[in-house]
Amino acid sequence: MPPPRPAAVFLDPHFTVGEVDPLLFGSFVEHLGRCVYTGLFEPDHPTADAAGLRTDVLALVRELGVTMVRYPGGNFVSAYRWEDGVGPADLRPRRLDPAWRTIETNRFGLGEFTAFTRSAGLEPMMAVNLGTRGPAEAADLLEYCNHPSGTTLSDLRGAHGAPEPYGIRLWCLGNELDGPWQVGHKTADEYGRLAAETARLMRMIDPSVRLVACGSSGSGMPTFGDWESTVLAHAYDQVDYISLHAYYDPEAGDPASYLASASDMERFITDVIALCDAARARHRSAKRLSLSFDEWNIWYMSRQRPGQGEWPRAPRLLEDVYTVTDAVVFGTLLITLLRHADRVTAACLAQLVNVIAPIMTEPAGPAWRQTIFHPFAQAARYGRGQVLRLHVASPTYETPKFGDVPLLHATAVHGEDGMLTVFAVNRDPAAALPLTVHLGGFTPAGPATHSVLADDDPSAANTMTEPERVTPRESAAPAVDGGRLTVTLPPLSWNVIRLPLATDR
């Protein structure tokens, strides 16, 4: 047996990428399947509060460390009438939701969503419908939400029990309008004009809003690149962010390339930065656009069956069960987002509950954490501060899709709390990876810790009957000596290594 090939990372306190924006740890709640109904919201559940929210789920949302939540879609928003979801619940209309072929009762709407964000301490990110609707309806929604009082719409909010404005700062100008599946699908020119005009009107009503233009719904879209350039030709001056969406399907290709999914995410981010900066040059603008990676996750999309003829209410849709392997790949995606913290300043794990989600629930039953819950919770907790610009030296492996890919995927954050945190994935399914962290000018001030998520069975998952099957475990403390920390990363593992630092550097 050949000796394991080592990897190394080199740090320097002066070499930083940028400060992590807390909005990087956002998530997404769509009216889709059981994300809302029997997920977040189940008035008859034994743990439900007065607003009908499941407090067992609220506790897990807090533990997950989510900071922001996008709502109400997704594909759903492109045919949604926000007015259907406000006012007395028993007077709200039942509608067909063409995006997911379900019946929407509108029992949950804007007021309930706001009750949720307030209970969980989350910043809302609201999407407006630019599929079947336009600037007027977006402006009405903004006035209803954010105007203090004295107009029909703001007073209507007061009459609906919310005299204080909701003060929603983040707004998405539609959803995935480049996608032929989207209700109201548009060309880049059509969407770019519409986004610019909607943005202009929204800013007239509330100049404090932060606006997200739709970028491509995936790096593989045939219009990718042209879409961003055209949309930004129309809307660069009016928006603050451009969106990116990416889902990685464990069963869509070969296993080696799946483990290297972050290579696609990395390339997608750097390409979108290039497109934004080219638009900036053309506009001779001082502004630099941010990236809002407002849908990302693992999704067993090839298992999805198209909707049948019936129109069910809150059916079980997209309820993927995540394995250890998925959690490790998910960890590489988190690391990639952190590595671009200077430009990716908002991101949403899609979605939050039941639908391709870190949290699962059973109607009238328990709630539990999927495997992917754990890397997210650790990154949201410890990934706060300055991301360091690392030099990574790693053995590689060959993949059909991405060529040679490093076995080690890592980033490091110098926390405001004086801690150094290294997030590291060993992609090798068979062998452990010895890692040396060269601490540069950092001075250790105590022993290091090492948390590992790995399993002898890479297909292990958490279920209702075995909810704690996969959790991170504390491993032996890494050795710290002579400016170096040494640690062994088990095969196919997500690792969080933490070291207290002296402040006298």
Task: Give the one residue of 178, 206, 264, 295 binding ligand AHR; rule: CB under 6 A.
Answer: 295
Residue (81 or 469) nearer to ligand AHR, CB: 81
Helices (H), 76-129: 110-120
Task: State yes or no: is 190 an active-site residue.
Answer: no
Residue (74 or 472) nearer to ligand AHR, CB: 74
Phi/psi for 9 (5° steps) reads -125, 145
Q: How far apart are CA 359 and CA 353, in angstroms?
A: 5
Q: What number of H helices and E strands is found in the chain?
A: 10, 26
Q: How far apart are CA 402 and CA 253, in angstroms?
A: 12
Q: How far apart are CA 419 and CA 172, in angstroms?
A: 35
Binding letters toward ligand AHR, positions 29-48, x by CB under 6 A = -x------------------
Burial label, 99 (beta-carbon count in 10 A; 0-12, 13-18, 19+): buried
Task: Check the CA dihedral 101-102-107-113 and report its sign.
Answer: negative
210-247 CB burial, b ≥16 within 10 A, e <16? bbbbbbbbbbebeebeebbebbbebbbebbbbbbbbbb
Residue (11 or 172) nearer to ligand AHR, CB: 172
Q: Among 70-78, 220-228, 278-286, 380-388, which window interacts with ligand AHR (CB under 6 A)?
A: 70-78
Binding letters toward ligand AHR, positions 200-229, x by CB under 6 A = -----------------x------------
- Per the residue annotation, which of 30, 42, 176, 228 is the catalytic one? 176
Residue (351 or 493) nearer to ligand AHR, CB: 351
Residue (20 or 357) nearer to ligand AHR, CB: 357
Task: Give the one residue of 138, 235, 350, 352 binding ligand AHR; rule: CB under 6 A.
Answer: 350
Task: Give the one residue of 39, 65, 72, 73 binding ligand AHR; rule: CB under 6 A.
Answer: 73
Task: Give the one residue of 106, 114, 175, 325 binding ligand AHR; rule: CB under 6 A.
Answer: 175
Asked if 426 and 388 touch (Cβ cutoff 8 Å), the reply is: no
Task: Give the one residue of 27, 75, 336, 426 binding ligand AHR; rule: CB under 6 A.
Answer: 75
Amino acid at 283: H
Task: State yes or no: is 295 an active-site residue.
Answer: yes
Least distance from ligand AHR to the Cβ atom of residue 30, Å: 5
Return all residues near 153 (Cβ < 8 A) that are at least 6 apart.
Answer: 140, 143, 144, 147
Residue (38 or 351) nearer to ligand AHR, CB: 351
The two tokens of residue 102 are: 């379900």
Task: Please give the residue whose beta carbon sits closest to ligand AHR in the complex.
Answer: 74
Query: What residues from 264 to 293 belong to the interface with ligand AHR (CB under 6 A)?
Result: none
Give the three-state DSSP class for 352.
coil
Task: Give the one residue of 74, 135, 192, 315 binding ligand AHR; rule: CB under 6 A.
Answer: 74
By CB under 6 A, name the binding residues for ligand AHR.
30, 73-75, 175-176, 217, 295, 350-351
Supply the residues annotated as catalytic.
Answer: 176, 295
